[in-house]
Amino acid sequence: MTSLAGSQVAGSDVNIKKDMIITIDGPSGAGKSTIAKMLAGEAGFTYIDSGAIYRGIAYAYRNRENNETIGELLPLISLTFEFGENTRVLLGELDISDGIRLPEISLLASSLSQDRSVRDYANAIQRRLGGRGRVVLEGRDTGSVVFPDADIKFYLDAGADERAGRRHLELSAKGSREAMKTVKEEMEKRDKNDSERAIAPLVIPDGAIYVDTTGIGPEEVLKTIMGHIEKRNAGK
């Protein structure tokens, strides 16, 4: 298992056009967040974590005071997102940045994402923030639905055991004591939900570049991705 947590490739001289929209999709544990943050840092772009939007909605829904349906709740909630290396999510004045990363919120977010009103809400936020370019978006449908005409699209993947191991390490670092077996089962359940949903399922977007990160460190993955961007900018 190779960790894909937080490294940078120093001294990169790859020229990235400053108005580009770059999308990175894939399943849990494939390294999307780490690579998207690294790439955004190298390019001077804004990193947009689409999953944080869905998790924010799920957190608000799970902790609602009344019994509103999700459709009734969406116009009432006040979610604020500060995207960057460390995404910050506020529900009103409450910082829920850590709370949205809990496993139960992840599963609820996956379930709620099958609702058309939820996807419309999240897509509108992403398009508003990313429409002018200079962004790296990562998620599960950023290249297939949100920005199908993105300048360049990637799909990151890895073996199931390695993805589960990465996720387990991430949760353990945040104090979780969840067993590896449970983490893998929850990850597989979410992947199944996202791949089989009728609305915007998890797929390899048309024209996306597939990158298998199994056994590969973050520096090498980023080098591969930036090489593809350089070729695209050169018109190859």
Q: Which three-class secondary structure string do you get for 36-60?
A: HHHHHHHHCCEEEEHHHHHHHHHHH
pLDDT of residue 48: 95
pLDDT of residue 14: 55
Indicate the class that CATH gives domain 21-229: alpha beta
Q: How far is CA 37 from CA 7, 47, 136, 184, 236, in A?
A: 9, 6, 8, 24, 26
Q: Which residues of the chain have pLDDT under 70?
A: 1-15, 236
pLDDT of residue 66: 92
pLDDT of residue 24: 97
Report the predicted TM-score, pTM, of the whole model to 2 decimal places.
0.84
pLDDT of residue 5: 40
Residue ranges covered by each domain of the chain: 21-229
Contact status, residue 179 vs residue 187, Cβ threshold 8 Å: no
